Amino acid sequence: MSKVTTKSPRSRSRRKGSIQRYETKKSGTRWRYQLWVPRDPDYPDLGMKKHSKAGFLTADEADDAMQEALVKRKNNERFSGRIPKLGAYAELWLESRPRLEASTLKGYRKHIRNHVIPQLGEVRLDHLTPSRLAHHYRDLERSGRKDYGHVGEPLSPNTVQHVNVLLGSILDAAVEDGHISVNPAKKKAANPPTASEVLAARPEITTWNGQELRTVLDWIRDDPRDELYALWLIFAFTGMRRSEVLALRWNDLNSKTGRISIRRAVDTVHRHRTKTPKTGTYRVIDVDDEVISTLNALKTERAAISFELVKPDAYIFSTDDGNLRSPSSVTSLWARRLTWLQQVHPEISRVNLKGLRHTHATILLEQGVSPKVIQERLGHTTITTTMNVYSHVTPTMQRAAVKEFTRTLASA
């Protein structure tokens, strides 16, 4: 350490900082350093703040630490100051992400409220270790559910994995803010549920085969209590998501080419609004003559109520006053149809509304349609998602492949 003239025996000034000696009752002489650092390196206009660290046994130790801090300042790195607790920081992190979809933010808030703050909210960020997170994940797997009627029951591996991904994003920001140097959620010792564990724990998908689906649709079509046959037909024949179907406008339908353009989805948080589809991308799918003719018949019926309901920008499945239908109300209507159905066809199992999407994909896969085509129809981001969701169809595809191979060789 170079020799420097000082104005006081208790302080060693530095051009870019200072080292000071102080006395404590219990430990005796100790040393600390102080220097000025930017409040936020990304926003120099915010000015400077004093940064200090104490408790060094010698002036040389304090000087070494200060030299490291000076390098950090030169590299425009952040100085965290007081380390916040996870709960408070998670809330600030949420507030800084207004561009996320409202439904995404709603899910994040729910996870933070139920699965982060009660257990880890008072833990300082720099005290959060991978082992502490692993222990937390095991607690959630044993008794983490908070929903009414199931409090204290095991939380699914899929939800625990979502909590881990969320914590990983929050702690990434904490690293960038200079509060911590590494992200404990991304260390191996955090031990969140693996992809295979998540997949194995998923509930079995219930679908209908082609004959069952045809029976159900024909029954709905002929039942005078149901005026939404076209809606259920679209679900079954396209595999579209609930929010996508309800946001379709008449100008999204091209009757000449037999195509439907999927440009938007109902916002489930603000249900009178629409947003981009789940994957954020626009897609076009082909439909058959039955779908086209059914929708054309629906258009004629809607025009008899009001021409406003069949304008190009009107919603195809709107209420009679032209508003978007509530996704939850449509789910309830379908559940009621299933109750009616089982009174007539008790042999047919219940398939929920999302099950119609699964039925569409399963039938196509069993008929040998390329998974890539199915991925495009369903709007999955990757084909891996498609194959993971419909892994139950793989045995059928394998059998079909073997038969086709044998048939080809036999005819050679």
9 confidence band (pLDDT: 50, 70, 90): very low
Q: Alpha carbon 285 to chain centroid distance?
A: 25
**In this predicted model, what pLDDT tens digit does every residue of 225-253 receive, in sequence order?**
888 999 999 999 999 999 999 999 999 99
Mean pLDDT estimate for the chain: 87
Query: In this prediction, what percent of the chain has a pLDDT beyond 70?
Result: 92
Statement: residue 134 has pLDDT above 90: yes
Query: Measured between alpha carbons, how far is 356 from 213 in angstroms, rounded to an integer?
Result: 9
Please calculate the CA angle 299-305-311 and round it to the nearest 5 degrees.
50
Q: What are phi and psi of 67, to 5 degrees?
A: -60, -40
Query: Measured between alpha carbons, how far is 104 from 97 in angstroms, rounded to an integer?
Result: 10
Query: Measured between alpha carbons, how far is 81 from 50 in angstroms, rounded to an integer?
Result: 9
Count of Cβ atoms closer than 10 Å to residue 316 Cβ: 23
- Answer yes or no: are the C-beta atoms of 59 and 19 closer than 8 Å: yes
Query: Measured between alpha carbons, how far is 239 from 199 in angstroms, rounded to an integer?
Result: 21
Sheet strand arrangement including 17-24: 11-14, 17-24, 28-38, 48-56
Count of Cβ atoms closer than 10 Å to residue 9 Cβ: 7
- Answer yes or no: are the C-beta atoms of 315 and 248 closer than 8 Å: yes
Q: What are the start-end ranges of the H helices in 202-288?
A: 210-222, 229-238, 242-246
Of 38-42, 120-124, 394-398, 399-403, which gets the smallest average pLDDT? 394-398
Strand, coil or helix: what is 5? coil
pLDDT value of residue 196: 84
Statement: residue 97 has pLDDT above 60: yes
Strand, coil or helix: what is 13? strand
Strand partners, 216: none
325 confidence band (pLDDT: 50, 70, 90): very high
Statement: residue 288 has pLDDT above 70: yes
Strand, coil or helix: what is 22? strand
* Beta-strand runs (E) in 144-275: 253-254, 259-262, 265-266, 274-275
pTM: 0.69
353-366 helix and 371-378 helix, angle to the nearest 10 degrees: 160
Cα dist. 50→30, 74, 78 in Å?
Answer: 19, 15, 13
Cα dist. 313→251, 283, 318 in Å?
Answer: 6, 18, 11
pLDDT value of residue 292: 96
pLDDT value of residue 312: 96
Of 32-36, 77-81, 149-153, 157-161, which gets the smallest average pLDDT? 77-81
Question: Within 13 Å and on the Cβ side, how many CA atoms surround 145?
Answer: 13
Looking at residue 31, its amino acid is W
- Answer yes or no: are the C-beta atoms of 22 and 10 closer than 8 Å: yes
400 confidence band (pLDDT: 50, 70, 90): low
Query: Measured between alpha carbons, how far is 199 from 86 in angstroms, rounded to an integer?
Result: 29
